[in-house]
Structures are given as structure tokens and as C-alpha cells.
Structure 1
Amino acid sequence: MEHRQGWKPLEIGPADAGGTADADGLVSHLDSLTGLEQLLAKEKALVFRGFQVSEGALDAVMDRLLPNRLAYVHGNSPRTKVGKNIYTSTEYPAEYVISMHNEMSYAHQWPTRLLFYCAVAPATGGATPVVDGRLWLDSLDDDVREAFAGGVRYTQNLHGGRGLGKSWQDTFETDSKDKVEEFLTGARASWQWLRGDAVRVTQDRASTLRHPLTGEEVWFNQADQWHPAGLGDETAAELAKVLPADELPQSVSYADGSPIPAAHVHQIRDRGLAAAVDVDWRQGDLLLIDNVLVGHGRRAYSGARRVLSPCPTDRAPGLMLR
């Protein structure tokens, strides 16, 4: 793990835990551990390395670190469900980097913690970079922070089965429009059903958040991932040829509806990645992060990388423009 800005995740191995180098040793350590929530808030991220946890032994470990997993409802990234509320990490071409983000920071509720498990390590690359959200916020120019002070507006165009991006059925894991509307009402989101069985969802959210235990203010939004400029100039230009801005699968503006300059998007993306610490994977490793204090992403890689991420139940309620 590369160490930048004076912070890196806490690594815990069998010697640190005083146990055996297997899943039973890790489970025994976790059973004896008190104050996991406080430890995670202090360290921000924990890497469990050297326990050689197999995929078949994963359930017992997850029950300690992330019990009672939920479905990935309203998740916007392409992922495949491979078990009981266990998903692959974002399925994105191996040659591309996934920029830093906090999971579901665009939503009305988000996971307070995330768990990643390496079932198959990549041949090269493929690290999961993690960034201290406070450092990310501090790294941004004053004018960028001021521009985002009023919050952001996320817009999703979800097709009904045929189209670009995810369908609303996949996004909400239901075929019932009534259930979608019930969910969106609870999320305090606006929506409009469109031609072709599509739906447009709009949400206004804050750009920063204070951690409930530490009080730290952190960068907490996905403006750079929802903005076409975050895809790169060439990709954004090609996308603009296919669809007008108001028909993109997802887009973002300031909360008052005014456009976000591409330069702001590039700065957010680039400085988040520059401040990140890389967690390199070995088969059987686990990474637990505080999803408010820490953003995560993915480096480009080669080989058959397989990293799984269960969806947790410990979701914190969000507020409109906190």
C-alpha cells in the first residue's frame, strides 16, 4: 500500500490477531474484538491480509463485519448478483480507472461501511485506491468548494428494458411501478414517467457531510462520476452525438440547475485519485472501509480480477441538502 498524506489503512494479519492464518483465525479475532465501529472510525479503513479466506468461508467473516446484507437497490453502477445480496464490484473495462467516490452518496441513504473481498487477484494492477475524504475536500481550490456549497442535483433517465444504461427494473430490483414510486417517495426524490416505459428521477443532495462520530467534514458526492466531463473529452463528445444532455442515463448540475464546469469536474476527479492510497489485492484479502470518511475507486488491471462486495444494512439516512 502506497502511503500518502500521512494516512493509510490499518493492516491486520494473523500475527497481529494472535491466531491462525485461516478464516477461523480471522473469525476468532473478530469475535474477540470490541468496539469495531470506533476502531473503524479512528482508522477509516481496515485491511485483513494473510488469513487466506476462501469464497466458501466468506459468510462467517461477513456475518462479523457486515451482517444482514441488503439488496443493491437504487445502485447506479453495473454489478452482478452472485449470492445472497453479494455482488461483483463495478463491472467496467479493465483498462480504465474508476475514480474516487463514496458508495451511493447520491442517494437518500448510503452504507455507513463497505466490505470488499478478493476472490481472484489480478495479474497486474487492479488495486482499490482509498482516499481520506477530509484530505480530498482540503485538496480542492476554494472556488470549487464555494461553488458546490449549495449542493448538487442528480438526474437519472432509466429505460424500461431497452436503452442506454440501466433499466429501472434492474436499478430498483422490481417490476412494479408502485414499488418504485413508494421507494422514491421515501427518498424524497422527484420522478416523471416518460414515453417508452422510462422514468426520470431527480434528487437534490449536499456536496459534503460530517461524520456522526468524528465530526470531520468530508467531500461526499459523485458529481465527477455523473458529469460527462468525468468520462474524458473524447468519450463525452461521442456521447453528446448520441443523446442530448437531458436524455443521458445520468447527469448532474448544481442544485439550482446551473451547469457544473468541466474544469471543476476534472479537478475533483484528479485530486481525489492523486490523494489516494492503493490497496493491492492478494487472494483472500478483505478491506473494510468507513463509507463516509473514505472514498474508493479502482485502478486499471490485467488478468481475471474478481472482487466481491456485499451490500450492507447499516445505512445512514441522508437529508436533502444537509
Structure 2
Amino acid sequence: MNTAISDRPRLLAASGRSLGEIDDDTVWSDLARHGAVLFRGFGVDADAFHAYASRFSRGFLLSPFGDRKPASDRNELQTVTVGQAALDLHFEYGNSPLRPDLLWFYCRRAPREGTGGETLVADGAAILEKLSPEARAILARRRIRFRNYVPPEAFDAILTGNSVVHALLGGDVEPALASRGVSITERSDRRVVFEFAVEALTPVHDSGQQAVSQNVFTQAYKRPDHEDAEGSFSTQVTWEDGSEIDAGLLDELRLAARSITRGIRWQTGDFVLIDNYRVLHGRNQTSDPERDLVMLCSFSTRFDAGAAPIA
């Protein structure tokens, strides 16, 4: 039976219930239908949030980059990207060959009213529906190539030396990635360059629909020739054959995404669960430096990393 889907995040209010009274299957069902579930009024702190996310997760992926900071000395919580600037729509680790399928945000302190800082979400299925038939046809028949430039220590932290990734892949990481189409084209004490190609569209569970599921049109990535790219995780996004993606198609994707983007207006204590293969996220600029969100990226208990397509 196909799952009917909706492009609006599901608001799951406590209404006098505790988190323990919410059936896990209800959460999975809401996530399959909506792509994002916003929990409100449950009165949990950050540690309880981590414990709840752990129920749905086989392991968490920590960012080794300096734009996030540890948010707890007891578990894997990290801050969201530091600063008050807006962030472009993207999938978390959308340029990685082993992308976490669940994304979690918890609000420790909501921004003051009128100061911005909303978390933005845009459903990849709704984006696809907004595109012209010509654009949908192009995405359906062409594959996207990600060519990544990353410092060796970061490559080790997120892939080859990561204990969670080792457990998920069941052994040596590099051969497992190679069997899934990942190619390491350069390795030195300065950087590792690796690339892979993926479908631009993927099915939305059993709904019969598809979604734009790759970081095709994000403007968040540095390119390796940017002045400040050295030492960062920089990425070139092209068609599989290395040719540039059509500017007109990228503009159409951005316009479609903008037209269906929703903003989460945080209340302190809220948390949200996002399907990281279907729903892109971003951030509005905020003038409140005290806005405080923490996050988790996880591989779900319903995800078979050995069988799943990369990215």
C-alpha cells in the first residue's frame, strides 16, 4: 500500500503526553508521510533529546570541522553551524558517499521574537513536482558527480577511521566504498580527493513518488579553487561525465525550492526529526546571538548501510 505524503512538517504536540507515550511506529509513519516531524511541548532537555534520538539510531556521525562545537561532554551532541548568517538549503553530508539518513535538531534557546533564525525545510518531492516536464526528464536520466577535496584527518574522521562507519559497513571501509562506486583519485599529506556519482532522484519510500535527493543546486559548497578552500571540505558538483550542470536547470530548481520552503519558528524545548534523503534544510539569518540549537546526524535502525545506495 502506497504512503500518502505531504510536504508540510508534521507538528506532534505533547497534549499532556510524555515522549514515552508516543509509539515509535507512529513517528516512523509521520516521517514517511511528511519528511519532517516537529516535537513540541514534551519538556525534554538536551540529554533526554539525545536519549530519544538514540532509540531510532544505529550510530551518530560527528562533524570534524571547526564550524561546529561539542555541545555535551556526555554524548555526541554538537552545535549547529556557528554564527548568525543564513545557510543555503542542503542535505546534511549530501556530498558524502555515506550520508546519515536522519537529522535531528533540538532548541536549547529559541531566538527572540522578530530576530529571524528560523530553520528552513524544503521537501524534495514537492520540489520535483514544481519543475517543468523537461527539467524532470533531465534529472531522471542523468546522474550527479560529487568530487570532494578534504584534509586527510577529516577523511579519516568521517569515513575510513570512523568506528560507526566501520560497524555499518561490516569491515574495511575503503573496499566497501570502492564496491559502491567511490574512487579516491588523489591522496597526500595535504588532502584526499574522492568522487562518486549518484542518481539525482530517489523514491520516497513506498509512496510511488520521487524526490530531488542530492545537493544539486546548493550554493553552500566551496570549490577547490576558492581562496579560502585550502584545509576545508570543498566540492565540485557536475554531471557524471564532468560537464557543468545547466545554469537554467539550477535556477529552476532554486526557484521551485524557494516556492515551497517552510520555516520552523522555534520554541525552547522543541526538537525536529528530518528525513535527510528527502527534506533539505537551511537557516534564516538571525540578529540574536543567543539562539542555541544543537544537532545529531544518525544512521537509522531502519537503514541497511550495506545495501543502501550511496548518498
- 1:8 aligns with 8
**What is the rounded CA distance, in whole Å, between the counterparts of 2:243 and 2:275 in structure 1?**
32
Deviation by residue 1:252-288 (Cα, 9 ceiling, x = unmatched) = 1101211113343333234213311111111110112
**What is the rounded CA distance, in whole Å, between the counterparts of 1:76 and 1:209 in structure 2?**
29
Query: Which residue of the other structure, out of 210, 218, 239, is the alignment partner of 1:217?
Result: 210
- 2:309 aligns with 319
Deviation by residue 1:263-318 (Cα, 9 ceiling, x = unmatched) = 43333234213311111111110112233332222221122222222222224554
**What is the rounded CA distance, in whole Å, between the counterparts of 1:298 and 1:168 in structure 2?**
26
Once the two structures are superposed, the pairs formed by residues 37-116 of structure 1 within 5 Å of their partners are 37-64=28-55, 66-72=56-62, 78-83=67-72, 84-91=75-82, 93-99=83-89, 101-116=90-105
Is 1:262 the equivalent of 2:247? yes
- 1:3 aligns with none
State the 1:158 CA deviation: 1.4
Query: Which residue of the other structure, out of 100, 106, 109, is the alignment partner of 1:120?
Result: 109
Q: Which runs of 4+ in 1 moved over 6 A?
A: none
The TM-score with structure 1 as length reference comes to: 0.75
State the 1:187 CA deviation: 4.3
- Relative to 1, partners in 2 of residues 1:262 and 1:94: Cα closer, same or farther, differing over 3 Å? farther
Once the two structures are superposed, the pairs formed by residues 189-268 of structure 1 within 5 Å of their partners are 189-225=182-218, 230=219, 242=227, 249-268=234-253
Q: CA RMSD in A?
A: 3.5
- Relative to 1, partners in 2 of residues 1:110 and 1:97: Cα closer, same or farther, differing over 3 Å? closer
Deviation by residue 1:88-122 (Cα, 9 ceiling, x = unmatched) = 2234x4232322x3333444443333221111222
- Relative to 1, partners in 2 of residues 1:305 and 1:193: Cα closer, same or farther, differing over 3 Å? same
Kept after mapping to 2: 8 A contact 1:87/1:311: no
Deviation by residue 1:34-89 (Cα, 9 ceiling, x = unmatched) = 4432232123322111223222433343244x34432247x999433434333222
Residue segments in structure 1 that go unaligned for 5+ positions in a row: 1-5, 20-24, 162-166
- Relative to 1, partners in 2 of residues 1:153 and 1:85: Cα closer, same or farther, differing over 3 Å? same
Residue segments in structure 2 that go unaligned for 5+ positions in a row: 1-5, 164-170
Kept after mapping to 2: 8 A contact 1:50/1:285: yes
Which structure carries more helix by proportion?
A: 1
**What is the rounded CA distance, in whole Å, between the counterparts of 2:135 and 2:81 in structure 1?**
28
State the 1:180 CA deviation: 6.3
The TM-score with structure 2 as length reference comes to: 0.77
Q: Which amino acid aligns with 2:284?
A: R
Kept after mapping to 2: 8 A contact 1:116/1:287: yes
State the 1:195 CA deviation: 4.5
Is 1:301 the equivalent of 2:286? yes
- 1:159 aligns with 151
State the 1:206 CA deviation: 0.7
- Relative to 1, partners in 2 of residues 1:241 and 1:210: Cα closer, same or farther, differing over 3 Å? closer
State the 1:191 CA deviation: 0.6
- Relative to 1, partners in 2 of residues 1:77 and 1:221: Cα closer, same or farther, differing over 3 Å? farther
Aligned length: 287
**What is the rounded CA distance, in whole Å, between the counterparts of 1:175 and 1:69 in structure 2?**
11
